């Protein structure tokens, strides 16, 4: 089974599975994180709760979300 830590340690494995090197993935994750936060703030219309309130998702971090999308 592939886990995130193993994927981020092995550049060859990362390229084989998602087609990006570890450095490229980290750069993409930084951009994805910023865009995801802007998207979440922009699409909150007339919500009563604060950002981060409510039930937490099953995929905790933006990097995990990006890996889920790419896989």
pLDDT tens, residue by residue, 10-63: 999 999 999 999 999 999 999 999 998 888 888 776 666 676 677 777 888 888
DSSP 10: -
pLDDT at 1 over 70: no
Whole-model pTM over 0.85: no
User: What is d(CA 27, CA 50) in angstroms, rounded to the nearest whole number?
Assistant: 29
The answer for residues whose C-beta is within 8 angstroms of residue 51's C-beta and 6 or more apart is: 40, 41, 44
Sign of the torsion formed by the C-alpha atoms of 33, 17, 70 and 57: negative
Q: Are the CB atoms for 70 and 10 separated by under 8 Å?
A: no
pLDDT at 3 over 90: no
pLDDT of 62 reads: 87
pLDDT of 51 reads: 67
* Residue with more model confidence, 2 or 71: 71
């Amino acid at each position: 089974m592939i886990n995130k830590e193993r994927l981020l340690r092995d550049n060859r494995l990362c390229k084989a599975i998602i087609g990006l090197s570890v450095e490229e993935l980290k750069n993409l994750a930084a951009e994805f994180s910023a865009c995801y936060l802007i998207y979440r703030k922009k699409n909150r219309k007339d919500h009563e709760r604060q950002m981060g309130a409510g039930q937490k998702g099953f995929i905790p971090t933006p990097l995990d979300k990006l890996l889920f999308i790419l896989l």
